[in-house]
Amino acid sequence: MDINATLCNKIVDNMMKYVENDKETQKEKLNYYIRVIMDGVGNFAIMLLVFLLSGFGIEYIACYIALSVTRTFLGGFHLKTGDQCLMMTFGVFYVCIVLGHICDVAIPAKLLVLICWILVVWLYGPFKSPQRPRYSDAKKQRFRIMATTGGCIVVICSIIFGKYVFSGCIMWVMIYQLTESILFIAHERINNLNAHKTFKGKEG
């Protein structure tokens, strides 16, 4: 039994007592947000312990914040289980921290990443996902603004604190998130194209 899921459902059920309108949609949103928070807190604590013991506590916290202010509002690939997500996230942070220590990103490259990020956010974001609730147009607009703001904060901090190692780490997180976003867009386009071909084939 998934303890997190059970606890999440109980919390949502209690909160739904105070919801009067559009209960189904509100329940879906509450369930998603609470589950994300619960999973996030647990994963954060586990990885923080590991990276603290490895001597990379500050870099990890910086990377975690950088990923939170970008991915949260844009989205991306989701794995099937929480354990898979934990291992994937750990791997991403580890690689970004290592790259931050051995490979600096030049300021022009940072600005180029930011420009590409803004284009992706406003042309394609936020990404649709079975794990996410349905958003209104106004909500999507707010998410685009938040994702843009988050990306700007990451890049600006990376430039301002350039002499510190964590500045390189958060920049690699930004590069990773941009790369994943582009791959996600390509994946969705291919799936849509295949679905269209299948539909045309059935019509024929």
Least confident span in 4-8, 68-72, 83-87, 169-173: 4-8
For residue range 106-145, list pLDDT tens digits in order. 999 999 999 999 999 999 888 776 666 677 888 889 989 9
Segment holding 52, helix H or strand E: helix 23-54
Distance CA 111, CA 155 (A): 7
Q: Other C-beta atoms within 10 Å of 12: how many?
A: 20
Question: Is residue 64 within 8 Å of residue 44, measured between CB atoms?
Answer: yes
Distance CA 127, CA 184 (A): 8
| Counts of helices then strands in the chain (DSSP H, E) | 7, 0
Question: Is residue 147 within 8 Å of residue 66, measured between CB atoms?
Answer: no
Distance CA 163, CA 184 (A): 33
- The DSSP output letter for 105 is -
Mean model confidence pLDDT for the chain: 83
Beta strands in 43-112 (DSSP E): none
Question: Is residue 9 within 8 Å of residue 27, measured between CB atoms?
Answer: no
Is 196 exposed, middle or buried, given 0-12, 13-18 or 19+ CB atoms closer than 10 A?
A: exposed
Q: What is the mean pLDDT of residues 60-80?
A: 83
Where are the domains positioned within the chain?
Answer: 1-54, 56-201
Tokens found for residue 38 = 């619960």
For residue range 154-191, list pLDDT tens digits in order. 999 999 998 899 999 999 999 999 999 999 889 888 88
> Is the model's pTM score more than 0.85?
no
Tokens found for residue 203 = 């019509």
